């Protein structure tokens, strides 16, 4: 019952925030400050869709009291302490005005771990757009009797039927295979048909030189390709352990098996095995004109395709689960859309360019990858806090799509198993934040509505910490819980 209650609150709070002046700026007459109805147990679920005032939650008010910086600092200084070696930096801002309410070495750049993913999330929503989808296609090859499986950036493919309501597995290889067989039948092709793989959308090394071989071997990351099953996992239900080292070929082999199954039922023979296509084997890529044709027809004609979940849905997934592989792929798609090489370096440059366009000072920022797997990344708490503020309250409404992806304390994603004791209970169901963890690094950046109804954004980064010291994570969670409970005066 406690989890159900927290879940209702977690769902209802964003419903109020979505229409609140705290997110969109003061667009209606100020309302009197309330005694925190957004933190009370709701009498009913919000209305479907969460819009307007149809639910039990009231909009936030821009007249809600702002925490007193001195009173807030006194509480945060008592909780934001390292367990052993190292130290924490941090920034807390009022989301509407940008006023800095807490600043502990906020401009000092540090390794942010997976908090770096916030940069890619913002860049993807701005460059690609929340509603963009990626296509995985089968096109007619230049060599008679060949079809080319072409990666278009979807690494969340499933092996079965397409699942329109899913994110992981929204596009299914079984569906793609059946559509391909129908196109071959219409073209009068009975086979044997050979499958070629085109995964040339990305360029440069498939592994960043900044990644340690140990992390690759452990499955924290894998060589980056523009198509993969289950975000480069062997099984959709497994999120740890070794990954396929050639995710594109693994997906192509699974597609060939599905094509053979569908072809056998329809009288179309499929040759075993897959090879990577050369430029001459692929032929020119063309938009479909007229009916499909394989063997003697124009090469590059699209025979079948399936589409991914939207960029907004994928950003939600990478934020909630801190998916390293999906983040790196999304960065390369940002680079391609920006006219830059779809490589590690091109992706980093494209993402940092978006930060500059958001007018977030970034001269001191350094990025070696986008997933945050290396200590070479250097970002300040102020830069991360400013980025979260752009998502909650900035003028670019495309960034609002990132908000739902922030894990909810005690309920979802990487915060699902945290905020479970008395010292952090005040933040459960209320704090929404991106986590970050490396051996000597821990970070937390996000947003929360305090007890007076003020929307606050924050970022805390610990570096040089004692590996495995449990008190560091607890310190971050207690600190964020202070913000949730704050009526700091």
How many CB atoms within 10 Å of residue 272? 11
Known catalytic membership, residue 423: no
Selected catalytic residue, list 117, 282, 301, 434:
117
Selected catalytic residue, list 179, 208, 322, 385:
322
Phi–psi pair at 214, nearest 5 degrees = -65, -40
DSSP string, 376-407: T-BEEHHHHHHHHHHHHHSS-GGGGGGGGGSP
Known catalytic membership, residue 231: no
Strands (E), 36-173: 87-94, 100-104, 109-110, 135-140, 146-150
Selected catalytic residue, list 46, 61, 114, 393:
114
Nearest partner of 432 among 404, 453, 452, judged by Cα: 404
Known catalytic membership, residue 203: no
Nearest partner of 251 among 169, 147, 148, 173, judged by Cα: 173
Angle between helices 344-357 and 117-127 (to 10 degrees): 80
Sign of the dihedral through C-alpha 469, 471, 475, 478: positive
How many CB atoms within 10 Å of residue 5? 12
Residues 308 and 305: their CA atoms lie apart, in Å, by 10
Q: Are 433 and 449 in contact (CB under 8 A)?
A: no
Half-sphere exposure of 107 (CA within 13 A, CB side): 6
How many CB atoms within 10 Å of residue 387? 25
**Which residues are catalytic, by number?**
114, 117, 322
């Amino acid at each position: 019952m406690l989890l159900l209650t927290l879940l209702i609150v977690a769902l209802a709070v964003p419903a109020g925030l979505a229409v609140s002046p705290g997110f969109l700026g003061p667009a209606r007459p100020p309302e009197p400050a309330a005694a925190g109805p957004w933190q009370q147990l709701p009498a009913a679920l919000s209305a479907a869709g969460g819009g307007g005032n149809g639910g039990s939650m009231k909009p936030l008010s821009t007249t809600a009291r702002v925490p007193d910086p001195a009173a807030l600092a006194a509480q945060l200084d008592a909780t934001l302490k390292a367990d052993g070696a190292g130290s924490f930096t941090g920034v807390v801002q009022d989301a509407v005005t940008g006023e800095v309410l807490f600043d502990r070495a906020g401009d000092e750049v540090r390794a942010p771990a997976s908090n770096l993913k916030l940069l890619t999330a913002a860049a993807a929503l701005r460059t690609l757009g929340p509603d963009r989808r990626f296509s995985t296609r089968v096109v007619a090859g230049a060599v008679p009797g060949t079809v080319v499986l072409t990666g278009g950036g979807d690494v969340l493919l499933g092996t079965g039927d397409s699942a329109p309501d899913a994110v992981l597995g929204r596009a299914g290889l079984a569906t793609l295979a059946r559509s391909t067989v129908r196109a071959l039948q219409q073209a009068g092709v009975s086979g044997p048909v050979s499958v070629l793989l085109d995964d040339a959308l990305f360029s440069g090394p498939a592994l960043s030189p900044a990644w340690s071989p140990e992390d690759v071997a452990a499955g924290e990351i894998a060589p980056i390709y523009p198509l993969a099953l289950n975000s480069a996992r062997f099984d959709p239900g497994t999120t740890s352990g070794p990954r396929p080292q050639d995710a594109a070929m693994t997906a192509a082999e699974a597609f060939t098996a599905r094509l053979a199954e569908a072809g056998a039922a329809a009288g179309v023979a499929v040759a075993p095995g897959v090879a990577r296509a050369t430029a001459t084997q692929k032929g020119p890529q063309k938009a479909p004109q007229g009916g499909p044709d394989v063997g003697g027809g124009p090469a590059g004609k699209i025979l079948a395709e399936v589409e991914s979940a939207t960029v907004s849905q994928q950003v939600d997934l990478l934020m909630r689960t801190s998916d390293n592989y999906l983040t790196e792929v999304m960065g390369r798609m940002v680079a391609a859309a920006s006219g830059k090489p779809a490589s590690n370096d091109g992706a980093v440059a494209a993402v940092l360019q978006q930060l500059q366009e958001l007018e977030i000072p970034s001269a001191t920022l350094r990025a070696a990858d986008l997933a945050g797997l290396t200590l070479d990344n250097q970002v300040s708490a102020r830069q991360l806090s400013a980025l979260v503020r752009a998502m909650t309250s900035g003028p670019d409404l495309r960034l609002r799509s990132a908000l739902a992806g922030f894990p909810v304390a005690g309920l979802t994603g990487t915060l699902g198993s945290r905020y479970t004791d008395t010292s952090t209970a005040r933040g459960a169901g209320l704090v929404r934040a991106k986590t970050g963890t490396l051996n000597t690094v821990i970070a937390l950046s996000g947003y929360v509505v305090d007890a007076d109804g003020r929307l606050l954004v924050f970022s805390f980064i610990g570096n040089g910490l004692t590996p495995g010291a449990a008190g560091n994570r607890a310190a971050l969670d207690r600190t964020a819980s202070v913000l949730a409970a704050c009526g700091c005066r």
